[in-house]
Amino acid sequence: MSEYAIRVENLGKRYTIGAQTERYKTLRDSLTNLTRLPAEILRRGMGGRKEEIWALKDVSFEIKKGAVLGVVGRNGAGKSTLLKILSRVTEPTEGFAEIHGRVGSLLEVGTGFHPELTGRENIALNGAILGMKKREIERKYDEIVEFSGVEKFIDTPVKRYSSGMYLRLAFAVAAHMEPEILVVDEVLAVGDAEFQRKCLGKMSDVAQEGRTVLFVSHNMSAILRLTEETIVLEKGRVAYRAPSAEAVDYYLTSGFAQTGERSWLADEVPAETAPFRPLALRVRNPQGTIADTIRSIEPFTIEMEYQLDAPITGLRVGLYMLSTHGDHIFSSFDTDNADEYNQYIMRPAGRYVSRCSIPADLLNDGRYILGVNASTFRVRRYFQDEYALSFIVDSTGAPGMQWAEPRPGPIRPRLSWNIKEIG
């Protein structure tokens, strides 16, 4: 018996996009294509008009039985395609994947749920779709209902459920799959905090049971909590494979400027951002120098330089700050305050710098990630880059530094404490 659960070698998947698949083929198209064939052959010789993209290319890796592997990557890196191939939903264009054991895939929660059927009926249906046998479903039925927490409504049609109930029921069924290999795609992205916590808990149980798990997520803290090793996919290729902490760090910091400044060249920016043109994002220390490390006991500034080729009304330019775990710390826009909001309802064309000051004694030490967003509220998003720049905060001299202990959490405020003897 092989020690590997999954072995993938030179896996590639190509999709054809463009004029060919813009609309579904009709018989008429195919017939008229036949008559055009001679002309097509001549034209193809001068460069085809079909565009091909390789969603995956030369992907090779092995997963040992019982391992819990994370897969991270930007949108479009090929994560879902990889899972689809391993789940036998789609076929690779080249290479092969060897699977040892039964695969249960959770690419979506509630696959096959029908709104007209009751919760009870959907449990049976969904269980069968996920590969459980009738006997298995019957055996686990009570557990599933209890886990979902919708016992009272189990005989009502699912279309009456709130979205939360729906998710809980769907996940309850999926959570009771017992495949040897579990393949999970970002199901934690939906649902409230409680649901996500339950999901994580169940997944970590599954992992402890010794099953092989392949887990795709954008949630770095989930990846760090559940997985031992992680693969980073970049543009369809395996860019990095390492123990999860290292891999997550690589993922979050790769492609970011680490010099305190991130600038965008004209051709790096998609055409749709016009007339907004991002120029540079910078972190400056109190002395005014561009820096990649700043001290937590000093205030510092973050500035965004950009150009407007035409006047824009209602524009707001702002920042996201994230931790290296991917948690959002705050978002703030340059027209959040009433003064700026009133003064800059309309911004004429020209070159601008939006600058904000982060107070001293706010951030804890560690690395932080800045993202930038330029948009008009609910109308249009001109530009967004979620992981644009990273910088480091050094907490030397911060309150409590007399004890050499790390303080958890992204902020480290200097609070005024009052000690009084009252007896």
Minimum distance between the CB of residue 37 and other proteins, rounded to whole angstroms?
18
Cβ nearer to other proteins, comparing 13 with 316: 13
Output DSSP code: residue 277.
Answer: E
CB under 8 A, 24+ apart: contacts of 408-417: 409/364, 410/323, 410/327, 410/329, 410/363, 410/364, 410/366, 410/368, 411/329, 411/362, 411/363, 411/364, 412/296, 412/361, 412/362, 412/363, 412/364, 412/365, 413/361, 413/362, 414/360, 414/361
Cβ nearer to other proteins, comparing 30 with 418: 30
Minimum distance between the CB of residue 66 and other proteins, rounded to whole angstroms?
14
Cβ nearer to other proteins, comparing 122 with 354: 122
Q: How far is Cα 415 from Cα 100, in angstroms, rounded to an integer? A: 57
Cβ nearer to other proteins, comparing 107 with 269: 107
Minimum distance between the CB of residue 69 and other proteins, rounded to whole angstroms?
17
Cβ nearer to other proteins, comparing 81 with 375: 81
- How would DSSP label each residue in 125-177? HHHHHTT--HHHHHHHHHHHHHHHT-GGGTTSBGGGS-HHHHHHHHHHHHHT-
Minimum distance between the CB of residue 223 and other proteins, rounded to whole angstroms?
22
Q: How far is Cα 43 from Cα 46, in angstroms, rounded to an integer? A: 5
Cβ nearer to other proteins, comparing 57 with 262: 57
* Tokens linked to 265: 């060249």
Minimum distance between the CB of residue 162 and other proteins, rounded to whole angstroms?
20
Distances (CA, A) of 97 to 90, 93, 131, 377: 12, 11, 20, 46
Cβ nearer to other proteins, comparing 169 with 248: 169
Minimum distance between the CB of residue 189 and other proteins, rounded to whole angstroms?
15
Cβ nearer to other proteins, comparing 110 with 318: 110
Gyration radius from the chain CA atoms: 26
Contacts of 156 (CB under 8 A, 6+ apart): 118, 119
Cβ nearer to other proteins, comparing 26 with 35: 26
Minimum distance between the CB of residue 28 and other proteins, rounded to whole angstroms?
7
Minimum distance between the CB of residue 212 and other proteins, rounded to whole angstroms?
13
Q: How far is Cα 76 from Cα 96, in angstroms, rounded to an integer? A: 21
- If residue 6 lies in a helix (H) or strand (E), which one and from where to where? strand 4-17
Residues in contact with other proteins by CB under 8 A are 1-2, 15, 21, 24-28, 30, 84-103, 105, 107-108, 111-112, 114, 116-117, 121, 124-125, 128-131, 133-134, 157
Minimum distance between the CB of residue 89 and other proteins, rounded to whole angstroms?
5
Contacts of 166 (CB under 8 A, 6+ apart): 110, 113, 158
Cβ nearer to other proteins, comparing 21 with 313: 21
Q: Phi, psi (5° rounding) for residue 207?
A: -65, -40
Q: End-to-end alpha-carbon separation of the chain, Å?
A: 73
Q: Phi, psi (5° rounding) for residue 417?
A: -100, 150
Minimum distance between the CB of residue 310 and other proteins, rounded to whole angstroms?
41
Distances (CA, A) of 189 to 108, 195, 220, 335: 10, 10, 12, 30
